[in-house]
Amino acid sequence: MSRKKLKRLKDVYRFPNVFSRENENVEELLNYYFGNRKPFTLEIGCGHGDYSIELAKMYPERNFIGIDYKGARIYAAAEEANKLNLKNAAFLISGAEKLAEIFSKEKVEEIFIPFPDPHYPRKSFKRLIDKNFLNIYKNIVTEKAKGHLKTDNEELFNYTLNILNKENCKIQFATSNLYAEQGFDHHHTIKTKYEKQYLEEGKEIKYICFGFEN
């Protein structure tokens, strides 16, 4: 690991908007940080936190949490949110498999999963939307919660549609070419670093919006 990454991994915990699954009562710490007990919106695999930051600017009345298991990745996101004085954006160092241990039932109102690795983590060949992860999400989401997946990977797109159907999740909207569609919601204007790169390469962006129950 480079010196820069090591320094960021150490310094990331100095940000007031960064939390770790190792903290006791993480949910309560987040409630205290936000200054309210409103539901959370999660960005899983947030990296630089593009969605968490942009959504926090669009919806100042809501609470957003970017989640990544690598603290060095979160550093830039936390730094940017602090510079912008976004008090409704926080970041959590954790793997997605731990979410049901962190959040209580019906605490999460929306989940964004933008451009995940097709396998997560790579060595275990688990995907962020599979039977096990969906069961984790179902334990923490509100009744009308929505999930959002964006990817350039056709195999992952088709796999996700298949697993959502098998697990009785309602697919509310799906497209293999998002930017050929009309009438975008506001959050579709958000483009991650990787999405911009894929678009420059001429790749089509796939998108699925789903509920966690039929």
Distances (CA, A) of 161 to 97, 124, 168, 207, 208: 21, 21, 11, 10, 8
**Backbone phi, then psi, for 151, in 5-degree steps?**
-160, 155
Does 188 have pLDDT greater than 90?
Answer: no
- CATH number of the domain at 71, please: 3.40.50.150
Q: What is the pLDDT of residue 121?
A: 53
CA dist 1 and 7 (Å) reads 10
Say how many CA atoms lie within 13 Å of 212 toward its Cβ.
Answer: 25
171, β-bridge pairs: 210
Q: Number of folded domains in the chain?
A: 1
For residue 40, give its domain range: 3-211
Instruction: Tell me what pLDDT residue 89 has.
Output: 98
Q: How far is CA 96 from CA 32, 37, 43, 45, 205, in A?
A: 22, 22, 10, 8, 23
The Cα diameter of the chain in Å comes to 48
| Residue among 56, 67, 72 at smallest CA distance from 21 | 67
Q: Do strands 171-175 and 206-211 pair parallel, antiparallel, or not at all (unpaired)?
A: antiparallel
Percentage of the residues of the chain whose pLDDT score is greater than 90: 79
Is 117 an annotated catalytic residue? yes
User: Over the stretch 70-87, which tens digit does the pLDDT of each residue have?
Assistant: 888 899 999 999 999 999
In angstroms, the CA 67 to CA 18 distance is 10
Rounded Cα gap, residues 19 and 15, in angstroms: 9
Cα distance between residue 77 and residue 70, in whole Å: 12
Read off the pLDDT band of 186 (50, 70, 90): confident
The mean pLDDT value of the chain amounts to: 91
Angle at 19 between CA 13 and CA 21, to 5 degrees: 115
Instruction: Kindly name the residue from 68, 117, 152, 185 that is annotated as catalytic.
Output: 117
| Rounded Cα distance, 37 and 208, in Å | 29
Residue 131 tokens read as: 């039977």
pLDDT digits (tens, 9 = 90+) for 12-42: 889 999 999 999 999 999 999 999 999 999 9
Task: Assess whether pLDDT exceeds 50 at residue 125.
Answer: no
Say which residue, 118 or 113, is predicted with more confidence. 113
Burial of 80 (0-12, 13-18, 19+ CB in 10 A): middle
